[in-house]
Chain A
């Protein structure tokens, strides 16, 4: 078992509890032991970075410091936005000794252990898309997906900016497709799979955001997808919960089920209802479950 410090982020602790429960249930099956972090806070999304950037850096340093204190080498995220925020702060702290010294002094002043720069921030997707995690995933996904057509939706902040994320080519990513196929599904290709869902401005600029949101859902729908899968709970929230707003605005009701990555693999791995918690979705996942006969 690979031990990782587990950073849930806000959404999986709040409105996307199903992401947390399915990740917790799936992790041991793919060789990952999650070390819970009780003391950490929100990473601030892009929002604290944009409002109080120095505070953003300190908050993320604090998260990294507590992750390091667990003894694990990896801080595992389950959200795109957390991944970018933490990796960005991590790079700054790793590379710039003077900056790390200043931040550490502040951390120590308020009672946080200093961060020495030895943690790597990785998304769960990357853990299971290659290497040991991928080998175990193939075994774990024994129930398969019966050739179900799945549209992968990456979202932005797990691909771009690639100099900070860097796992795969941001214009030609492959990790979700590989996982879908390993689970026995059929990956659908469509142009908007790497685009933005509009989430960051869904409250402040609803119209602009809906103009973005409709693209992946419509394209996946037209390509005949049974469901979409995303590695980001923020993407999940907008794709799932805002479909009713799209219906109101455009008259089109896509009824497209949206799965978290851990739910998609989880279904193929035979996780329980109580772990997958599909009832928490706004758009019903029942058509998918019927096809899979679970």
Chain B
């Protein structure tokens, strides 16, 4: 046994890793392989500590709490962002996989696994991450109380530790680096949904700007990666719903979304041919005519008349009116289902994954025999 694990007498394993080393001052890049002995309970962060301690002191990465609280240790494992301190190595070692570790995406690399978080913090700041108080003090002079029901609306968003894992693979940000992104917008929802905050409309106006909520391409990488269950994509959907509830629908994204509602109520099916003019307005729709004609030649733009109407579509219209009367508009419509979705994770952790075949990280997929 090497002295690397003198501090423990638990069983050990041999961990192999590849790490993308990078030096921003020279631009040198190199994929280096390491093999160290580590306790069986070791996380990726423990393994990096052992490497830095015993093999190569020049390896750079961030850490602090070692317990999924500080948000420092975000990095990529095989291309997907993880918290190093949350990622146990035992299963990966057992599967024989040799993972590749690299810096998070969508942020400039300073050295090895350390990224420059400046763009992240400036977007964070841009959404105004502080309370704009606008509440009346309760008559009895005591503290302002928030009901559990109101707290539920921002429960998940409040769990964020600003680690950046959600940003790392954000597909919209890859294409538009100015996109506010999942972390900042989830934080925005945390204030929009706070009953003590007086800036709701102002905030929604800001977040509706061109690099805001309607920039999100729904790739769901943020929900997949977030180590704290914030589900930023759902927070963005909440912001969309709140915007529309407050009549803030100038963005093409909002118009697009509203047209689906209208279609479902009237014909039951998307009225595809009218989607472009309803989203972009008549003028830019006409500019697109050449493109539209090309699609039409291949039957890609079905004529609006006669519309394709679902049987008993009246029910869909009545449902709309009924649901509107019950007043769960905006974010509440999403919040009401979160409890159930959280249960899936709980069941998963306890080995009773609902109705879904197992995902086994690191296990070789079955190959075709045909």
A residues engaging B (CB < 8 A)?
Answer: 10-11, 13-15, 17, 38-42, 44-59, 62, 84, 88-89, 91-96, 99, 106-107, 109-112, 120, 130, 137-138, 141, 156-157, 160-174, 177-184, 191, 195-196, 198-201, 203-205, 207-209, 211-212, 237, 241, 244-245, 279-282
A164 to B334, CA, bound (A): 15
Render B344-357 as a binary contact track against A, CB cut-off 8 A, 1 for contact. 11001000011111
Task: Give the contacting residue for B359; candidates A52, A53, A112, A169; CB below 8 A.
Answer: A169
In the complex formed, the residue of B with least CB distance to A18 is B299
Interface-forming stretch among B109-117, B136-144, B249-257? B249-257
Instruction: Please indicate the chain B residues that have their CB under 8 angstroms from the CB of A47 in the complex.
Output: 256-257, 259-261
B294 in the interface (beta carbon within 8 A):
yes
Task: Give the contacting residue for A57; candidates B295, B314, B333, B357; CB below 8 A.
Answer: B333
Task: Give the contacting residue for A10; candidates B215, B270, B311, B336; CB below 8 A.
Answer: B270
Q: Is the CB of A204 within 8 A of B252?
A: yes
Please judge, given known A-B contacts A15-B272, A203-B280, whether A160 and B223 are in contact too, CB under 8 Å. Answer: yes
Q: Is the CB of B176 within 8 A of A196?
A: no
Please judge, given known A-B contacts A198-B217, A201-B214, A203-B275, whether A50 and B240 are in contact too, CB under 8 Å. Answer: yes
Interface-forming stretch among B29-37, B155-163, B362-370? B362-370
Interface-forming stretch among B6-14, B52-60, B195-203, B323-331? B323-331
Interface of B is mostly: helix
Q: Is the CB of B215 within 8 A of A208?
A: yes
Chain B 189-241 interface residues, beta-carbon cutoff 8 Å to A: 214-221, 223-224, 231, 233, 236-238, 240-241
A111 to B294, CA, bound (A): 42
Please judge, given known A-B contacts A92-B341, A204-B253, whether A162 and B224 are in contact too, CB under 8 Å. Answer: yes
Instruction: Please indicate the chain A residues that have their CB under 8 angstroms from the CB of B344 in the complex.
Output: 91, 95, 163-164
How many B residues touch the partner, as a band? 35 or more
A170 to B78, CA, bound (A): 12
Interface-forming stretch among B15-23, B42-50, B167-175? B167-175
Q: Taking the nearest CB of chain A, how far is it from the CB of B174, in angstroms?
A: 7
Interface of A is mostly: helix
A50 to B294, CA, bound (A): 31
In the complex formed, the residue of A with least CB distance to B263 is A42
Q: Is the CB of A204 within 8 A of B256?
A: yes
A165 to B314, CA, bound (A): 31
Q: Taking the nearest CB of chain A, how far is it from the CB of B102, in angstroms?
A: 13
Please judge, given known A-B contacts A55-B323, A201-B172, A245-B291, whether A48 and B368 are in contact too, CB under 8 Å. Answer: no
Q: Is the CB of A156 within 8 A of B218?
A: yes
Interface-forming stretch among B61-69, B123-131, B300-308? B300-308
Please judge, given known A-B contacts A39-B310, A51-B257, A203-B252, whether A209 and B217 are in contact too, CB under 8 Å. Answer: yes
Instruction: Please indicate the chain A residues that have their CB under 8 angstroms from the CB of B343 in the complex.
Output: 95-96
A51 to B223, CA, bound (A): 19
Q: Is the CB of B269 within 8 A of A14?
A: yes
A180 to B368, CA, bound (A): 8
B298 in the interface (beta carbon within 8 A):
yes
A254 to B114, CA, bound (A): 37
Please judge, given known A-B contacts A54-B329, A169-B359, whether A15 and B291 are in contact too, CB under 8 Å. Answer: no
Q: Is the CB of A282 within 8 A of B310?
A: no
Instruction: Please indicate the chain B residues that have their CB under 8 angstroms from the CB of A282 in the complex.
Output: 294-295, 298, 300
Q: Is the CB of A174 within 8 A of B329?
A: no
Q: Is the CB of B268 within 8 A of A41?
A: yes
Q: Is the CB of A138 within 8 A of B370?
A: yes
B283 in the interface (beta carbon within 8 A):
no
Please judge, given known A-B contacts A47-B260, A110-B319, A212-B174, whether A96 and B299 are in contact too, CB under 8 Å. Answer: no
Instruction: Please indicate the chain B residues that have their CB under 8 angstroms from the CB of A182 in the complex.
Output: 368-370
A169 to B126, CA, bound (A): 35
Instruction: Please indicate the chain B residues that have their CB under 8 angstroms from the CB of A172 in the complex.
Output: 365
Q: Taking the nearest CB of chain B, how far is it from the CB of A198, in angstroms?
A: 6
Instruction: Please indicate the chain B residues that have their CB under 8 angstroms from the CB of A99 in the complex.
Output: 336-337, 340
Q: Is the CB of A196 within 8 A of B322?
A: no
Instruction: Please indicate the chain B residues that have their CB under 8 angstroms from the CB of A14 in the complex.
Output: 269-270, 272, 302, 308
B93 in the interface (beta carbon within 8 A):
no
Q: Taking the nearest CB of chain A, how far is it from the CB of B263, in angstroms?
A: 6
**In this complex, which of A53, A198, A199 has the most chain B Cβ atoms within 10 angstroms of its Cβ?**
A53
Q: Taking the nearest CB of chain B, how far is it from the CB of A127, in angstroms?
A: 12
Task: Give the contacting residue for B218; candidates A42, A54, A109, A200; CB below 8 A.
Answer: A200
